Chain A
Amino acid sequence: MDNMKRILQGILWIIIYLLLTLAPLFVLLIGPSPEGRDFWREFSVALGFTGLAMMGLQFVLTARFKSLKAPYGSDVVYFFHRQISVVTFFLILAHPITLFITTPSLLSLLNPFDAPWRARFGLISILSLIGLVGFSVYRKQLKIIYEKWRIWHGLFAITAMVGALFHILGVNHYVAIPWKKAFWIAYTAFWVGLILWTRIIKPWLEMRNSYRIVEVTPERGNAATLTIQPDHHKGIRFHPGQFAWITVGANPFMDREHPFSIASSAEKPEKLSFTIKNLGDFTNTIPNLKPGEKVYLDGPYGSFSIDMHQHAKGFVFLAGGIGITPFMSTLRTMRDRNDPRPVWLFYANNEWKDVTFREEVDAIQSQINLDLIHVIRFPEDGYKGETGFITKQVLLNHLPEDIAGLEFFICGPIPMMKASEAILSDMKITPGDIHTEVFYLA
């Protein structure tokens, strides 16, 4: 996909986002609608309606629609989901607060024992929203594991949406006309349906296309490679650098799935491999998995791939630790395709003994046009390569003078990615030629 097409697609989605947020509000004004009240009251109501529409749209952002994620990259879609959720939270909170400030007598509606149902539903919705945002922002401090959080996240989201809908229907001011009522019920039902699609229908489809573990191999750097193959179906085609969501052991409804980069060659889709570092959470169960166990897979996703840049003259990869996995898939694919384009791989690790795929990357050097540059933070005696971090000087030491037409890919821990992005923009690389994949989505 070339850059122009991606930009246009990106802009189109933004327009659709705005339409889906604001159009339902203005639909309320079509046909007979109630008399206007004072500005602040109407403003507060408008914030409530748009807030609900924005909440609904949050479900789309995490429903893993490939065409939506293609122009931006999945990590940015999740980032946007988190950022816009804060805005949504405050807009919705501003709805009752504005009302209470302008009409303090309404404060009595906060007492759930005396309040009418319409106010109780409003309160349920707001409390769910506070729970939703609180659990997400403080998940780590509250020591809630990712899988449990994800279930709560879905439940809070549905309660907040349904509570808000009943609140609107109970107030019955703008939706007094039957078709408007039906419109808002359908609008909310659509979003709730979406979350059911993501969490129930899709996992069910995955269950019918399961995979089996072929082998689990330990790797350098406290990692393990999980190799799987399709269980009596065709499997998936993917681009090198893409990732998939994996559920191991349990069934795909259990919400134990995690995103991992595919590490194997896109030219050999009959067997997929994922190399996973033990980070002390779910990932520490990987080495204990046994051949024959079932695995469920949802993918491929992501636009972190050389295939999205067919016209590139060459590639520069900046890998940090286990961030090597999408590049491993890319190097293996380039080898299998006999791709002649030059590649510079800057591979940063803390220690030489922990360099995952050290031997294989070294071997690939003789099979494709690869310039491999290790950067070791704590080198042993006798190590002769680059040391410390990937710096501008390290890049300049190895890249050719003419870097026009090269595409830059970065994958690794977040601080490494931020530093690398800063270095590349300092080197006047066009932002459109820099591609990143945040490795730890969860």
Chain B
Amino acid sequence: MRQKLAVGLVILISILIVGMSAFFAYYQAYLR
């Protein structure tokens, strides 16, 4: 059960990190 939660956490963190990296790139490429 806790391992399932950990997998969920890894997926959530990965999405947030890739998303924020894309936001960084978008900001650099288009917003400035």
Contacts and interface: CB of A to CB of B under 8 A. Distances in A.
A35 B18 CA distance: 22
Contact of B1 (A35, A91, A421): A421
Contacts of A41: 25
Contact of A17 (B5, B13, B24, B25): B13
A425 B1 contact: yes
A91 B10 CA distance: 13
Contact of A43 (B5, B9, B16, B21): B21
A415 B20 CA distance: 38
Given A25-B20, A36-B32, A87 B10 contact: yes
B17 A91 contact: yes
A26 B21 CA distance: 9
B28 A42 contact: yes
B17 A80 contact: no
A43 B6 CA distance: 27
Nearest to B14: A87
Contacts, number: 86
A41 B6 CA distance: 31
B20 A434 contact: no
A80 B9 contact: yes
Interface of B: 1-3, 5-7, 9-10, 13-14, 16-18, 20-22, 24-30, 32
A70 B6 CA distance: 15
Contacts of B17: 18, 21-22, 50, 54, 87, 91
Given A36-B32, A39-B30, A83-B10, A25 B2 contact: no
A36 B24 contact: no
A46 B24 contact: yes
Contacts of B3: 76, 79
A38 interface: yes
Contacts of B20: 22, 25, 46, 50
Given A25-B20, A44-B25, 17 more contacts: A22-B17, A35-B32, A36-B32, A39-B26, A39-B29, A42-B28, A43-B25, A46-B20, A46-B24, A47-B18, A72-B6, A73-B2, A79-B6, A80-B6, A84-B14, A87-B17, A431-B2
A103 to B, nearest CB: 15
